[in-house]
Amino acid sequence: MWICPKCGREFRRNNQNHYCGKAPETVSEYSNAQPEEIRPHLTEMMHILENSVPCVNERILWSMPYYEKEGKSISFSASKKHISFYAGVEAIDAFASELEGFVTRKNAIYLPYGKVLPAKLITEIARWCLN
């Protein structure tokens, strides 16, 4: 058991990455709470997802950006070395050939900060998931 020295929350894993303090209320607030060097990546991800699917509902759920339309959803979160894009197992299977070169785990695609975000691919996945 590990206890965060900043907020006092308990976690099973040592040095669990989490958000200390009050949860953000908007995606912009979420992005602005992250380290300065990764904010441009998060802002770009936010804009890609906002512009991918019309009439999508954007909110914060589980302290991370969450997008939903008609009961379908996608989300993303900031990690130390990458953006975790949660598109679901079915989407990862459907886009397996396009995702070669990216690390995927269960329902997430890891988009490293050291690479340009694949805007076209993110858009295609978002449309596939939410339409």
Per the model's pLDDT, the better-predicted residue between 21 and 115 turns out to be 115
Give the separation between CA 126 and CA 59, rounded to whole angstroms.
16
Residue 9 confidence (pLDDT): 83
pLDDT in tens, 4-22: 888 888 888 888 777 677 7
Work out the number of other CB atoms within 10 angstroms of the CB of residue 72: 14
pLDDT in tens, 13-46: 888 777 677 778 999 999 998 999 999 999 999 9
Residue 14 confidence (pLDDT): 85
pLDDT in tens, 53-110: 999 999 999 889 999 999 999 999 999 999 999 999 999 999 999 999 999 998 999 9
Residue 122 confidence (pLDDT): 98
Distances (CA, A) of 5 to 2, 20, 21, 22: 9, 10, 12, 16
Per the model's pLDDT, the better-predicted residue between 115 and 22 turns out to be 115
Residue 8 confidence (pLDDT): 85
What letter represents residue 109's amino acid? Answer: I
